[in-house]
C-alpha cells in the first residue's frame, strides 16, 4: 500500500527497506500495526 501510493508521484522506485514494525495487542489479538519503510528511487 505505501509503495503503491508513493509510486503515484515518485517514479523509478527501485527498492525498499523495512525500518520498523510496531503495533498494539489486547488479550493476545492484534488490534493494529504500523510499518515504517525507506524507499529508494532514481532522480532523473
Identify the pLDDT of residue 44: 81
Residue with cell 519503510: 37
Residue 43 has pLDDT above 90, yes or no: no
Q: Quickly state the pLDDT bin for 17 (edges 50, 70, 90).
A: very high
Domain chopping of the chain, boundaries: 2-41
Say what the pTM is.
Answer: 0.68
Q: Quickly state the pLDDT bin for 27 (edges 50, 70, 90).
A: very high
Identify the pLDDT of residue 24: 98
Work out the average pLDDT over 33-42: 94
Residue 1 has pLDDT above 90, yes or no: no
Q: How far is CA 1 from CA 14, 16, 25, 28, 29, in A?
A: 16, 13, 22, 26, 23
Amino acid at each position: 500500500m505505501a509503495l503503491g501510493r508513493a509510486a503515484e508521484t515518485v517514479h523509478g522506485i527501485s527498492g525498499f527497506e523495512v525500518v520498523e514494525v510496531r503495533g498494539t495487542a489486547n488479550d493476545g489479538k492484534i488490534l493494529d500495526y504500523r510499518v515504517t519503510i525507506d524507499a529508494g528511487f532514481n532522480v532523473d
